[in-house]
């Protein structure tokens, strides 16, 4: 009788253990939203909100439309959009390779500059809404990195003026 009680007890314990086993949870990966509810003319660097003091835009000799958005004389963001005119409304793919920004590519090269050091946006999308130099450029939580692997996470919203 003792063996059967032990066997039954062991069986009940094993049944309890296996019936309590949890299913593996599946995880889903989400990307950061394109819009971060940013204020106009702002750059958010590692969750610190800063405001743009000067915007500039012009066509370059490299067949790009360049915009610069300064926080100070030594700090800000610059964009090189494909083509020789202000980009049309739509989404542009961020590239960390300037040579990929060719007319018709829908690519943009973005730099964050700080005291003479340049950090390049690594990947993601930029949204352009509106037209011409009044168009609004926006991106959310993009990783920027320099050649020493120092990095910042930056969000941005401003016009191209």
As a whole number, the mean pLDDT across the chain is 84
Instruction: State the DSSP string of the chain.
Output: -HHHHHHHHHHHHHHHHHHTPPPPPP----PPPS---PPTTEEEETTEEEE--EEEEEE-TTSEEEEEEEEETTEEEEEEEESSSPPPSEEEEE-S-GGG--TTS-EEEEEEEETTEEEEE-S-EEEEESSGGG-EEEEEEEEEE-TT--EEEEEEEEE--
Q: Considering the entire predicted model, what is its pTM?
A: 0.77
Per-domain residue ranges of the chain: 42-159
113-161 pLDDT, tens digit each: 999 999 999 999 999 999 888 899 999 999 999 999 999 999 999 998 7
20-78 pLDDT, tens digit each: 444 433 333 334 444 588 999 999 999 999 999 999 999 999 899 999 999 999 999 99
68-93 pLDDT, tens digit each: 999 999 999 999 999 999 999 999 99
């Amino acid at each position: 009788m003792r063996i059967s009680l032990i066997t039954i007890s062991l069986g009940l314990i094993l049944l309890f253990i296996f019936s309590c086993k949890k299913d593996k949870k599946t995880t889903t990966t989400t990307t950061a939203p394109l819009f971060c509810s940013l204020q106009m003319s702002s750059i958010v660097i590692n969750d610190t909100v800063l405001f743009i003091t000067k915007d500039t835009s012009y066509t370059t000799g490299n067949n790009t439309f360049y915009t610069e958005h300064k926080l100070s004389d030594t700090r800000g963001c610059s964009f090189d959009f494909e083509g020789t005119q202000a980009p049309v409304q739509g989404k542009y793919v961020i590239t960390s390779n300037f040579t990929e920004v060719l007319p018709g590519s829908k690519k943009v090269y973005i730099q964050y500059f700080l005291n003479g050091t340049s950090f390049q946006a690594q990947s993601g999308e930029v949204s352009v809404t509106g037209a011409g130099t009044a168009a609004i450029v926006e991106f959310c939580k993009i990783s920027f990195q320099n050649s020493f692997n120092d990095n910042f996470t930056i969000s941005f919203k401003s016009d191209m003026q």
